[in-house]
Amino acid sequence: MSVQPGMFGDFQDRLRTNRLAMAGAVVVLVLVAVALLAPLVAPDDPNRIDVDAILLPPGPDHLFGTDELGRDVLSRMIYGARVSLEVGIVSAGIATLVGVLLGALAGYYGGWVEALIMRFVDIMLCFPTFFLILAVIAMLEPNILNIMAVIGLTSWMGVARLVRAEFLSLKERDYVTAARSLGAGDLRIIFRHILPNAMAPVLVAATLGVAGAILTESGLSFLGLGVQPPLASWGNILSQGKANIEIAWWLSLFPGLAILVTVLAYNLLGEGIRDALDPRLR
């Protein structure tokens, strides 16, 4: 069973007519391009210390000013975009993979398998996610790999519930019964016949999950438990700005705006994808 012909084209048409979603998509593409081309577009080495340029305000030589070590803030933000997007995309990917696998098993098999998985989901949802991440990171070395893994492994529950709900509906369809009568195994039915038709809410959740992961990483870095200096991220640039907010407003303004615009862009794109996939709006 495959997705109905013309469905993807209809989705594209509906997405293109959503101006807010397209604006979000453009911002996301620009940020990805800037992150990939950081060595080419950054005006300076993000870690170069210049004692003669400490806390300079925005100007022709440093468009976003400098920090307390004389490092160019624009260059650090460009490299920080690479870190923030990497954390967001990888963490959302981990959460989506875990959520899809567990949700598919729970929805397809039902019974004790579903009960076991969904009670585990309920237990995970009982813990405040950010404080759970803080506790785990505090016990581990706060490097970028651990941060991506921890964020991903503590944010899959919503995806699992979405996929389970889709599987409970789709496994009763005629094409699944036909595939089973032809001798198709469980794995083939799950991954070949049901999962492709259950991916619409997953795509939306994954897009919104990137925004959530970026916010979480920024919060961790702001608290000193995320990406560690000298590696630049928007969160630790913002943290440095806190100590100098009265004399160096640019250290708080520019990374704060970057986080705001990026999260807003992913949310607009996710909402646009959800509207484009909503059968009630066709």
Cα angle 146, 215, 152 (rounded to 5 degrees) comes to 35
User: How many Cβ atoms sit within 10 Å of the Cβ of residue 167?
Assistant: 25
28 contacts 269 by C-beta, under 8 angstroms: yes
Q: Which residue reads 């210049």 in tokens?
A: 50
Residue among 103, 127, 110, 88 at smallest CA distance from 212: 88
Per-residue burial over 218-233, b if 16 or more Cβ lie within 10 Å, else e, is bbbbbeebbbeeebbb
Cβ-Cβ contacts under 8 Å for 97 (sequence gap 6 or more): 156
- How many H-runs (helices) and E-runs (strands) does the chain carry? 13, 0
Residue among 282, 209, 275, 207 at smallest CA distance from 18: 275
76 contacts 133 by C-beta, under 8 angstroms: no
Tokens matching residue 11: 């989705």
**pTM, two decimal places:** 0.86
- One digit per residue, the tens of pLDDT, for the chain of length 282 reads 444 545 556 777 788 888 888 999 999 999 999 999 989 998 888 888 888 888 888 988 888 988 888 899 999 999 999 888 898 899 999 999 999 999 999 998 988 999 999 999 999 888 777 787 888 877 877 778 888 888 898 889 999 999 999 898 888 888 888 888 887 788 888 888 888 888 888 888 898 899 989 988 888 888 888 888 788 888 888 888 887 888 888 888 999 999 999 999 999 998 888 888 765 555
DSSP 3-state assignment of 214? helix
Ordered structural domains, the chain, with CATH: 7-42+66-281 (1.10.3720.10)
Question: How far is Cα 93 from Cα 257, in angstroms, rounded to an integer?
Answer: 25
